A = this chain, B = another copy of it.
């Protein structure tokens, strides 16, 4: 399996301004893998409990996701309960780790030759352990969250030194670096770990930094967001899925990958759970990408020529 994701497959119970849902499919690896499956085949490493609904297994299989690394264990599936009062901030009401509490990812033999590896938001020590299980990965990316920055900062920084790309949101980037300005925070992150960093800014878009290079990109314009859960994981899924599929890990190609992440996240937030992704066609992805380019593309002009024409400037 060329692309492998390690993360959570979970039940979410949540309330947003658009409605309320109980025990729907959630988890970072679920969103990531469905989003990236539009670009590539991949293998999923996660743990579920005995209560996990078979229909969700069939859904993941429908997207040709290899489930050789999805372990079923005695007990209940990870369950997150939360709500959104405004759509920018999830409020956690209850976290039942259940079988996820003792999750120790053990990669199936065929995953150990993975070329591209995505470490979704799990304990940074487990992330490091997974990196070691892959023989010679070409590209390793990871996600994290405020909880790990608080509780396992040193372990997280150790993991970051072993990854090519970190996905992080603006608040977390400031928290990790203790720097308010997002570009200065990004620089700090690059000096302390990954080769590149993607900083997500919610409805305002995202940016990527590598060395002295910066690329800034808007979010897809949406008039309604039904449920923001999974937007970040779908973003990473679109990004990494595209990057892996094109076998080009250059900064130039990561810019297009950022657009693919933006596209996939724009679908995810239009419905609860993976509802919108599950109903999606590749033609719709293509169409959304072209719309996004229409909304953001700008032809470069020659300002020197304007000066010559106006003479007096």
Contact = CB atoms under 8 A, between A and B. Distances in A.
A183 B246 contact: no
Contact of A297 (B204, B221, B300, B312): B300
Contacts of A221: 183, 207, 214, 216
A293 B303 CA distance: 12
Q: How many copies does the complex hold?
A: 2
A245 B214 contact: no
Interface stretch (A36-44, A77-85, A150-158, A228-236): A36-44
A306 interface: yes
A312 B245 CA distance: 11
A207 B224 CA distance: 17
Interface in A239-261: 242, 245-246, 252, 255-256, 259
Interface string A136-175: 0000000000000000000000000000000000000000
A289 B303 contact: yes
Given A204-B204, A223-B181, A312-B64, A217 B214 contact: no
Interface string A87-115: 00000000000000000000000000000
A101 to B, nearest CB: 36
Contacts of A303: 285-286, 289-290
Interface in A275-310: 282, 285-286, 289-290, 293, 295-301, 303-304, 306-307, 310
6 contacts: A38-B313, A215-B295, A246-B306, A289-B303, A293-B300, A297-B298
The 7 closest A-B pairs by CB, nearest first: A216-B218, A204-B204, A286-B303, A293-B300, A184-B223, A183-B221, A183-B223
